[in-house]
Amino acid sequence: MEFFEVIQNRCSMRKYVETAIEEEKVQQILEAINRAPSAGNLQAFEVFVVRKLTLRQALVKAALDQSFLAEAPLTLVFCTNPARAVERYGSRGTSLYCIQDATIACTFAMLAARALGLDSVWVGAFDEQAVTDVLQLPETLRPVAMLPIGYAGKTPNLRPRRVLSDLIHET
Ligand SMILES: Cc1cc2nc3c(=O)[nH]c(=O)nc-3n(C[C@H](O)[C@H](O)[C@H](O)COP(=O)(O)O)c2cc1C
């Protein structure tokens, strides 16, 4: 799919069919994540690949009962790893760069998924400790975004945006 087509027709999908995602596509998404830029190329994040139904169901509970987390066959959980950024960047590394690193990586995954004919939705509303417990994450990591990915279970619905002149400020 052409890049601007990916940007134009991506939208949040909150219903999925059961169809499994081809392993080759999963690998392409993971490779895209690894091409994301990061502060000082330190890649101060970790990604957890969640496929087991029991874990996906537990993530639903950790995320305000957002049931599509169990419908999608795959969820990627993006965590900051501030320890990778602290030495070079101090508090800016731990309070900002690692979050930016993790969320840029999530954006790359989202766009890669769309380019491959898959849909996703960014999930930020969750109890961080509950997600940590479900996935048995080390306490040094902080889950900051989850991305369920799968084949769309309904027609995509493009949401409106602000007009460009309201959003962009020429200086
Ligand atoms: C930081 C962030 C957190 C979000 N958290 C959730 C969430 O917990 N649940 C959800 O259904 N959508 C969530 N979304 C998706 C937004 O609601 C969605 O991107 C926005 O409404 C625009 O719609 P679109 O993605 O279809 O263009 C989140 C998006 C972002 C960027």
The angle at the Cα of 130, spanning 11 to 78, to the nearest 5 degrees, equals 45
**pLDDT tens, residue by residue, 112-155:** 999 999 999 999 999 999 999 999 999 999 999 999 999 999 99
Nearest by Cα to 61 from 114, 136, 129, 12? 129
The tokens for 37 are: 């830029």
For ligand 1, say whether the CB of 55 is within 6 Å of any of its atoms.
Answer: no
Instruction: Say how many Å lie between the CA of residue 137 and the centre of ligand 1.
Output: 24
Distance from the Cα of residue 38 to its chain's centroid: 15
Determine which residue's CA is closest to atom 18 belonging to ligand 1: 12
Phi, psi (rounded to 5 degrees) for 142: -125, 115
The CB of 121 under 6 Å from ligand 1? The reply is yes
Q: Whose CA is nearest to atom 7 of ligand 1?
A: 123
User: How far does the centroid of ligand 1 lie from the alpha carbon of residue 4, in Å?
Assistant: 20
Q: What are phi and psi of 3, to 5 degrees?
A: -55, -50
Question: Mind giving me the DSSP string for 97-130?
Answer: IHHHHHHHHHHHHHHHHHHTT-EE--B--S-HHH
Q: Is pLDDT at 11 greater than 90 in this prediction?
A: yes
Query: pLDDT of 88-106, one tens digit each?
Result: 999 999 999 999 999 999 9
Confidence tier at 1 by pLDDT (50, 70, 90) = confident
Cα-to-centroid distance, 170 and ligand 1 (Å)? 27
pLDDT digits (tens, 9 = 90+) for 29-86: 999 999 999 999 999 999 999 999 999 999 999 999 999 999 999 999 999 999 999 9
Other beta carbons less than 10 A from residue 49's beta carbon = 11
Which of 6, 12, 77 has most ligand 1 atoms within 8 Å of CB, for mutation? 12
CA distances from 150 to 4, 18, 95, 117, 147 (A): 21, 8, 32, 9, 10
